[in-house]
Amino acid sequence: MKQKVRIAAGQGFWGDLPDAPVRQVEGGPIDYLMLDYLAEVTMSIMQKQRSRDPSAGYAKDFVPLMNQILPACVERNIRVTANAGGVNVEGCADAVREVARGLGLAGKLRIGLVTGDDIMAKLDEFLDRGIELRNMDTGVALSTVRDRIQSANVYLGAAPMVAALNRGAQIVITGRATDTGLTLAPLMHEFGWAPDDWNKIAAGTIAGHIIECGAQCSGGNCQYEWRNIPNLASVGFPIVEAAPDGTFVITKHEGTGGWVIIPSVKEQLVYEMGDPHSYITPDCVADFTTVRLEYEGRDRVRVFGIEGRPATNTLKVSISYSAGYKAVGTLAYSWPEAYDKAQAADRILRERLDRLGLKFDQILTEFVGANATHGPLAGAPSPDLPEVQLRVGVRSENRTAVERFTKEIAPLVLTGPPGVTGFAGGRPKVEEIVAYWPALIPKEEINPVVDIIDV
Amino acid sequence: MKVQLTKLAHARSGDKGDTANIGLIALREEIYPILVREVTAERVKQHFKGICQGNVERFELPNLGALNFLLHESLGGGGTLSLMTDAQGKTFSTALLRMEIDIPDEEALTFDLQG
């Protein structure tokens, strides 16, 4: 058994720095590359893409990335875990296989596919059997939006990825799998951790949590002494160096920018946290109040002491549904009296919308430069602001109403207060809202599937 | 004396649906008890008046010298439903750091906090 396993994070979200995974592979020794592509609503976007093109529906960027790094990965036995498969894991794996063949890697590469997360086809059966899939946040039953559902996927844990690794997969491609599982699975595979060795499973889970947002634990978005953070232009993405006992070090490649310090790791630990005693994943319940941190050197933070508890008997389901339409219009008002003019424009706009009899579920006005981020906490703006952006958003079930709204923005330039510009983009775009519906499902209802493809 | 939290702590915030979470981290270990004493769930709810429509929960992480706050019903519906510039609650962290708390002058001197 290895005494140390290095897992490098290459993407914090779908659309993160394109070169980051390449630099993780080329910048120093690693054993695994972990790539997290799926945010909450990504699956519905991919579902839409697949309905237009049956070969689409996965993170397209993953394929050219593999083309770029596969030779190095094969040569140095770097394995990849990625939830790049989206709603079309097979399509994604086929594309990677073609790329690998083109690189002359036939016979040298095994790809593992994890599926079974897509429960779209079984929804009615579940509902008929009394599995209500109530919204975890609001308690509302799924039947209320049944006819508007676009995708439904269960968050799978580490177990099926471990199975794929155990069967020799060098690249493991999943659909909807937890971000933390992408890091935990390699550790369970390498160190032979039992699925009920709760403290170690929790340690691997928290290691995953720390690196799953990429550079957000290594200097990116770091409030602590942000002016002193070195060379963010070349920020190093994080690497977990884990030991068989469940302790690990967060670090990054030498010569990269950013920093790995206790405050940067703490900031990521508390990111998107609920009850810190109970961080619930398919694999365990991790206790963040047991995490201990200490320095082990420059850009090296050692993490230890982690405790966990048995996993729950449910899995989280990520359902997306169509929830109406929205549009956001903006105009820029300049000095003098920029804020007053933007406010006057907002009053005029609302009067016109009222007169048109348009009904919206919500209208929101923000003044960028005065209160768009901190709202009333920002206090009264300086009377002499150099400029203010008026930003008005509307939301409605009725597409026509939202479309009508978009025609009322640019005319304010010729029919409202003076000193205004910033309308060159034309009418705001009407966007269909695909909303997120979190629910729980009993674990025994879900059967993850692991397939192996030899290139 | 009044001290703004930005002198005592750093923070990071994020979202889960319509709930914003703010992790408030003491800049130094000895500051943590002051945060526990002064930055209560009630005070945070009051601070975010007009922004947070639901209740505020607080959790303690003494191991990190940090408090975690959940501000329910704060993101205009959350996710893609929200019309807010900050639909993901990313700037709630710095909004919390605007808060001023009262610290006895003597205690402030001990911590070298000069206003």
Residue A123 pLDDT > 60: yes
More confident residue, A43 or A124: A124
Residues A293 and A345 in one domain: no
> Looking at the partner chain, which of A272, A364, A368 has a beta carbon nearest the beta carbon of B16?
A272
Q: Residue A368: which domain range?
A: 319-435
Same domain, A277 and A327: no
Nearest CA in chain A to B87: A373
Across the interface, whether the CB atoms of A269 and B23 are under 8 A apart is answered yes
What total number of domains does chain B contain? 1
Give the C-alpha separation, A267 to A284, whole Å.
Answer: 22
Q: Residue A321 has what pLDDT?
A: 93
CB-count burial class (<10 Å; 0-12, 13-18, 19+) for A298: exposed
pLDDT of residue B95: 98
Average pLDDT over every residue of A79-92: 96
Contact check, Cβ <8 Å, B25/A263 = yes
Structure tokens belonging to residue A246: 């469940």
Query: Can you give the residue range of the structural domain that contains B45?
Result: 2-110
pLDDT, residue B115, reads: 46
Q: Side-chain half-sphere of B99: how many Cα atoms within 13 Å?
A: 27
Judge if A323 and A301 occupy the same domain: no
The answer to whether the CB atoms of B63 and A291 lie below 8 A apart is yes
Q: What is the pLDDT of residues A230-245, one digit of tens each?
A: 999 999 999 999 999 9
Average pLDDT over residues A432-451: 96
Q: What is the pLDDT of residue A44?
A: 80
pLDDT digits (tens, 9 = 90+) for A421-434: 987 778 999 999 99
Residues A381 and A408 in one domain: yes
Q: Are the beta carbons of A208 and A177 closer than 8 angstroms? A: no
Give A302-333 as a DSSP string: EEE--EEEPPPSEEEEEEEEEEEEEEEEEEEE
CATH of the domain at A337: 3.30.70.120
Q: pLDDT at position A425, please?
A: 78
pLDDT at B114: 54
Determine the distance in angstroms separating the CA of A375 from the nearest CA of chain B, rounded to an integer.
7
A283 shares its domain with A186: yes
CA distance A314 to A83: 21
Q: Which of A376, A393, A434 sits opposite B51 (nearest CB)?
A: A376
CA atoms within 13 A on the CB side of B67: 26
| Closest C-alpha to A239, from A300, A291, A286 | A300
Say what angle helices A62-75 and A89-102 make with each other, to 10 degrees: 50
Query: Closest approach of chain A CAs to the CA of B71, in angstroms?
Result: 10
User: Same domain for A334 and A425?
Assistant: yes
The model's pTM is 0.96
A170 and A38 assigned to the same domain: yes
- Test the A interface: residue of B4, B5, B10 with most A CBs within 10 Å: B10
Residue A383 has pLDDT above 90, yes or no: no
A-chain residues near B59 (CB < 8 A): 273, 275-277
Nearest to A316 by CA among A177, A112, A144, A126: A177
CB-nearest to B85 from A323, A363, A372 is A372
pLDDT at A82 exceeding the cut of 50: yes
Please identify which residue in the block is written with the tokens 């699975």.
Answer: A185
pLDDT at A377 over 90: yes
* Token pair recorded at residue A345: 């424009």
Whether the per-residue pLDDT at B47 is higher than 50: the answer is yes
Residues 8-67 of B with CB under 8 A from A: 10-12, 14-19, 21, 23, 25, 27, 47-51, 59-66
Long-range contacts of B51-56 (CB under 8 A, 24+ apart): B51/A375, B51/A376, B51/A377, B51/B95, B52/B20, B54/B18, B54/B19
What is Dmax (Cα atoms) for chain A? 74
Give A280 to chain B, closest Cα distance, Å.
14
Q: Is residue A74 part of a domain?
A: yes
Looking only at the bridges linking them, the beta strands covering A79-82 and A171-174 are: parallel
Model confidence at A69, pLDDT cuts 50, 70, 90, reads very high
Q: Span A333-360, mean pLDDT?
A: 97
Residue A136: closest CA among chain B residues belongs to which residue?
Answer: B17
Q: What is the average per-residue pLDDT within A181-197?
A: 98
For residue B48, give how far its alpha carbon lies from the nearest alpha carbon of chain A (Å): 7
Which residue among B10, B47, B80 sits closest to A223, beta carbon to beta carbon? B10
Compare all CA atoms of chain B with the CA of A392 and give the residue at the minimum distance: B83
Lowest mean pLDDT among A33-47, A49-63, B35-49: A33-47
Q: Are A241 and A364 contained in the same domain?
A: no
Closest-CA distance, A372 to chain B, in angstroms, reads 6
Q: Give the number of domains in chain A.
A: 2
Q: How far apart are CA A134 and CA A150, in angstroms?
A: 16
Beta strand segments in A155-211, E? 171-174
Residues A197, A345: one domain? no
- Mean pLDDT of the region A129-158: 95
- Indicate the helix (H) or strand (E) that contains B97: helix B92-97
Q: Is residue A167 situated within a structural domain? A: yes
**Do A425 and A365 share a structural domain?**
yes
Least CB-CB distance to B21: which of A273, A395, A433? A273
Please tell me the number of Cα atoms within 13 Å of A231 on its side-chain side: 10
Taking residue A373's Cβ as centre, other Cβ atoms within 10 Å add up to 17
Amino acid at position A389, single letter:
Q
CA–CA min distance B109, chain A (Å): 22
Flag whether A126 is in a domain: no
In a domain, B115, yes or no: no
Domain annotation covers residue A63: yes
Chain A residues touching B71 at Cβ < 8 A? none
How confident is the prediction for chain B on average, in pLDDT? 94
Query: What percent of chain A is predicted at pLDDT more than 90?
Result: 93
Q: Domain end: A279, A295, A312, which one?
A: A312
Cβ neighbours, 10 Å, residue A108 = 15
Nearest residue to A361 via CA among A394, A405, A328: A394
Model confidence band, residue A48 (pLDDT cutoffs 50, 70, 90): confident
As a whole number, the mean pLDDT across chain A is: 96
Question: Both A94 and A173 in a single domain?
Answer: yes
- Does ipTM top 0.95? yes
Residue of B nearest to A273 (CA): B21
- Regarding whether A350 and A269 lie in a shared domain, the answer is no
| Distance separating the N- and C-terminal Cα atoms of chain A | 27
Cβ A441 vs Cβ A126: under 8 Å? yes
Q: Tens of pLDDT along B74-115?
A: 999 988 999 999 999 999 999 999 999 999 988 888 777 654
